[in-house]
Structure 1
Amino acid sequence: MDQIKQVAIVGGVHGNEFSGIYLVRQYLAQPEQVKRASFTTESVWANPEAHYANKRYLHSDLNRQFKNCDLANLALSNYEQSRAKVLNAQLGPKGNARTDLLIDLHNTTSNMGACLILTQSGPFYNQMAAYVKMMMPEAIISRDEDHFAAEDHALMCTLGRYGVLVEVGPQPQSVLRQDVLELMHRMTQHILDFVEHYNNGTLPVLPKETEAFRYLHSIKLPMNAQGERIGMVHKNVQDRDYQPIYPGDPIFTLFDGSEIPYDGDTVVYPTFINEAAYYDNNLAMSLNEKVLITLP
C-alpha cells in the first residue's frame, strides 16, 4: 500500500502573504499541532528575504521556478531562482523526492474562501478532496491544470511526490486576518488527518461525488492599443468568486460607462477576481468549469 512517510508544510513562498508565514511559525513553535503517528512533518519558511522586504518576491516569482528544466539550469541564478534550487535539494529532488506530500500555503486578495488546489490527478488526490470537502463543507476544491505532468508544472508543490496548495482569502497583501489564518489552519489540519487515515486504512466512508472546479483560462482587463487599462471588473462580478457567469453577463465596465459582456457560450466560474498580485500582468480573473470528482 502507498504510504506517506514525510510531509512538508511550506509557507511564505510569497513574502507578502502573511498567513502561511505565521502558520509555519506557529507550527515550528508548537510542532505537536502537525504531529501524527504514521508520518513525520517538517515546517518550512520558503522565502524569508522577500518577507523582510515586504514584497511578493525580490527578483522573480518563486512559485514559477520549479519546472525540471529550470531547476537544472544553472544560468537561472537570481535570488528566487537560486532559492528554488535550494528548496529542491531540501525537499526534493523533484521526480525522486524525499517529501511524499508537500502542502504549500498561500493567500489571495480575492474572495475565494478556503481552497484546496490540486495540480495533479489520481486516487490519492480524489480521496483527499472528498475527505476535506466532507469535513469542511465550505471548502472549495480546485483542479488547476491537473492534466499536465508534474515535471511540466512550475509550482513549488510539485516538488513532492504529491503536492497541494491551500489558498485562502480574501486577505490584503502584507496583512494578517484571524479568520483567514484560522481557515488555513483548519484545512491544513484536515489534510494531515486525511493522511493519517490514509496510511492506516481508516478512512471513513467518503462521498462518491465531490464538486470541484477545473481551470480553463485567464482573461485580462480591457486595454487600449497602448496597453493602458480602459476598464475594470464589473461590480456584479467583483467578490463573487466561484459564482456562475452566464453567456452575455457583463464582466467589465469601461471608464466611458459602457459594458463588456462575457462572450463565451457556456457557464463559467471566476476565481482570483481582481487578484492584486496579478495586476502587473493585467489579469482580471481566471475562468473555470464545474466538474465532479468521483470515487469508485
Structure 2
Amino acid sequence: MSSKTLDTIKQVAIVGGVHGNEFSGIYLIKRYQAQPDLMTRASFNTETVWANPEAHYANKRYLHSDLNRQFKSLDLADMTLANYEQSRAKVLNAQLGPKGNARTDLVIDLHNTTSNMGACLILTQAGEFYNKMAAYVKMQMPEAIISRDEDHIAAQDHALMCTLGRYGVLVEVGPQSQSVLRQDILDLMHQMTQHILDFVQLYNTNTLPKLPKKTEAYRYLHSIKLPMNEQGERLGMVHKNIQDNDYQPINPSDPLFTLFDGTVLYYEGETTVYPTFINEAAYYDNNLAMSLNEKVIITLADD
C-alpha cells in the first residue's frame, strides 16, 4: 500500500459533450445520471456535466468555435470573447472552477476520435497524482494508452476544458465516426472512467495496490499537415501503411503520404515517432494529418 496521502479528492466532475457530435460521452453521462451508483464512491462526490448541448442539438462539433480551446486563463477573463462557445466556457468556469482556485478537484472529460486510438488516458499536467493514476489505469487496463500530451505547459496556459479542475484528464476513445454510437467504444469509455473513479477512491483512502514503477506513455511533439499546394488545395492523403496505425512507430524514410498522382512522400525526421489522431475528421478544417509523439516512461517515486 502507498504511504499516507496528504491530498484528498472531494469533488469530481464527469463531463460529456464538449464536442456536440461526439456521442459516447453524452450517452455515458446519461447512463450515470440514470444509474448514479455507477459513479458513486464513498470518499468523494461526483457530478455530471453536459458541456455543449446546443452543438449536440445542431449535430455539430461546435456552433462558433471549438469549446475545448477556450479555457486559457486569459481567454476566460476576456469578456470581449463572447460567441456561444466562448460564453459557454465562462459558464463552465463558474460552475466547475474558477480556474486556478477550483471547487472541482478532478475533471474527467470524455471524448471520441475518428482515429483508431483505442482507449487513451490523456494527462494534462505532471505530478504524483497523475503518475499514480496512469500506473493504476494501465495496470487494470493493459490495452489502455497513456498520453502525457503537453504536460509541461502550465495549467493557466492550457486551453482544454479539463484544466478547469485542480486536476484534469481526458478519456479519448476511438475509432468512432462523428454523430454515431458504437457499443465497443462506449464500453471502453465506461471501463476507463470506472478505473479512474476506483483510483480516486483508493488514492483518498491510502489503499492503492502496489503500482508498477514504470509506465509507458507518449508525449506530443507536433502536428503535421496534409500535402497542399500554394492555394491551400490538398495534393494527397495519409499513406495506407499509416492509416489506422495510431501509436505504431514511424521510422525515418517510412512512407507518410501518397499524392493523388501516385507519388509517395516519406517521413524526413531523424528519430522514430508515434502518430496519433491519424486522419481525424474533426481536424480536416485545418488540414491536419496527424500528431507525432515521442515515447516516454512515467516513473513513480519511492513511497
> Which one of the candidate residues 248, 268, 275 is aligned to 1:263?
268
Q: Which residue of 2 aligns with 1:223?
A: 228
Q: In structure 2, what residue type is equivalent to 1:226?
A: Q
For residue 53 of structure 1, the aligned residue among 58, 66, 74 is 58
Task: Name the structure 2 match of 1:180.
Answer: 185
1:251 aligns with 2:256: yes
After superposition, what is the alpha-carbon deviation per residue over 1:28-85, rounded to whole angstroms, capped at 9, x for unaligned? Answer: 1111100000000001100000000000000000000000000001111110000000
Match of 1:168 in 2: 173
**Please, what TM-score do these two structures have when normalized by structure 1?**
1.00
Number of the residue aligned with 1:72: 77
Q: Distance in 1 between matches of 2:210 and 2:156?
A: 33
* Counterpart check, 1:8 vs 2:17: no
| 1:236 corresponds to | 241
Letter in 2 for 1:260: L
Which runs of at least 4 in structure 1 moved beyond 4 Å after TM superposition?
none
Name the amino acid aligned to 2:13: A
Aligned-residue CA RMSD in angstroms? 0.3
CA distance in 1, matches of 2:183, 2:200: 26
- The aligned residue for residue 154 of structure 2 is 149
Unmatched runs of 5 consecutive residues or more in structure 2: 1-5
Indicate whether 1:111 and 2:116 are aligned.
yes
| Corresponding residue for residue 158 of structure 1 | 163
Q: Distance in 1 between matches of 2:207 and 2:66?
A: 39
Distance 2:270 2:72 in 1: 34
SS at match of 1:270: strand
Q: Distance in 2 between matches of 1:265 and 1:241?
A: 19
Query: Of the candidates 84, 88, 106, which is equivalent to residue 89 of structure 2?
Result: 84
1:285 and 2:290 correspond: yes
**What secondary structure sits across from 1:180 in the alignment?**
helix
Q: Deviations 1:165-217 (Å, cap 9, x if unpaired)?
A: 00000000000000000000000000000000000000000000000000000
- Alignment-mate amino acid for residue 52 of structure 2: N
5 Å-filtered alignment, 1:29-40, equals 29-40=34-45
What displacement does 1:100 show? 0.1
Identity %: 82
Shift of 1:89: 0.2
**Which amino acid in 1 is paired with 2:264?**
E
TM-score (norm: length of structure 2): 0.97
Task: Tell me the distance in 1 between the aligned counterparts of 2:272 and 2:150.
Answer: 19
Check if 1:136 corresponds to 2:141: yes
What displacement does 1:22 show? Answer: 0.2
Q: Secondary structure at the match of 1:290?
A: strand
Q: Is there any run of 5+ residues in structure 1 with no aligned partner, and where?
A: none
Structure 2 counterpart of 1:245, one-letter code: I
Alignment partner of 2:294: what SS? strand
Residue aligned with 1:292, SS: strand
Show the counterpart of 2:196.
Answer: 191
